Amino acid sequence: MYQSKIIGTGFYVPDNIVTNDDLSKIMDTNDAWIQERTGIKERRWIKDGSGETTATMAAEASKNALKNANISKDDIDFIILATLSPDYYFPGGGVQIQDMLDMPTIGALDIRNQCSGFIYAMSVADQFIKTGMYKNILVIGSEYHSGGIDKTTRGRGISVLFGDGAGAVVVSRSDDDSGILSTHLHSEGKFADKLIMEGPSTKDWVPNIIARNNPDEETYFPHMDGQLVFKNAVVRFSEAINEGLEANNLTKEQIDMLVPHQANLRISQFIQKKFRLNDDQVFNNIMKYGNTTAASIPIALAEAVAQNKIKKGDLVVLAAFGSGFTWGSVIMRW
């Protein structure tokens, strides 16, 4: 059985910076309120009319990852795209990446696991590499939130959190002992309605929503039970990390870098304190980008690599929790 490892990272975010003060001009909120609860100072939102989408951002992040990996697009055997915000209801965005990058007619897979999407995508890529089916896989997380959130006081519990962006990695067959040691995936569907966007869906198509013509309609905006999500997140983050460590006979003291999903800085700080990690052992960038869902871990990982925060031989842990509920971890030796 082969070993798989990340050989290249890259990310892309829109140029348009939206600060907390900017949000205070369109809803009842302020910088202190947002920072105290989330740690977020600003986020990137696609500017109307720019032409940018989930797919275009994914393509740009992919180009950067390929360049960082020093391989050609023609070396890629398979594409995995994690997103909850594809350009179309169908087809999925993976095929758009294949077209935008002018790749051969390789397979393209879309994964819908929201904040845990990148972890799930990495697990799938790892299995494809280990079994020998593919040698180089492009794994992407990309999200365009700003076009579909309620930017009023009614929706501020959601809209202050989320940003747009994309991150990508190249996962390849390893010829040494570095790479992914294990991946761990979980779900608990009884909480599906606690972090959800109900429609449009096959249960409630757009014509039905239009026919109701209800100005107070909220089914097509994301909804979150924030306190319940927070309580579950801190528990499941810890469980996923510990599960990965135990599976590889490792201890928390051996973690060199934890890259958590950037959901809320308070969650990351709670986990950091629980595992007794110092600031150099946890990478956070939610302050600049907000929660970019499936894109948050690959964006953070790419920045950590670019800033030389991760070196060869380091034990790197990726962990996420989100809608579904779903959660998981990836344990790797860099």
Neighbours of 267 (CB within 10 A): 21
How far apart are the C-alpha atoms of 307 and 180, rounded to whole Å? Answer: 21
232 touches 267 (CB < 8 A): no
Active-site residue, selected from the candidate residues 68, 113, 261, 264? 261
115 flagged as catalytic: yes
Q: What is the 3-state secondary structure (H, E, C) of 303-334?
A: HHHHCCCCCCCCEEEEEEEECCCEEEEEEEEC
Which residues share a beta bridge with 111?
82
How far apart are the C-alpha atoms of 23 and 162, rounded to whole Å? Answer: 12
The closest of 55, 56, 74, 80 to 138, measured between CA atoms, is 80
70 flagged as catalytic: no
Helix axes 54-69, 296-306, angle to 10 degrees: 30
Q: What is the 3-state secondary structure (H, E, C) of 242-301?
A: HHHHHHCCCCHHHCCEEEECCCCHHHHHHHHHHCCCCHHHECCCHHHHCECHHHHHHHHH
164 touches 45 (CB < 8 A): yes
How far apart are the C-alpha atoms of 247 and 254, rounded to whole Å? Answer: 14
Active-site residue, selected from the candidate residues 20, 68, 113, 115? 115
DSSP code string of 104-125: -S-EEEEE--GGGHHHHHHHHH
Neighbours of 202 (CB within 10 A): 7
Question: Beta strand pairing status for 195-196 and 165-174?
Answer: unpaired
140 touches 292 (CB < 8 A): no
136 flagged as catalytic: no
Catalytic center residues: 115, 261, 291
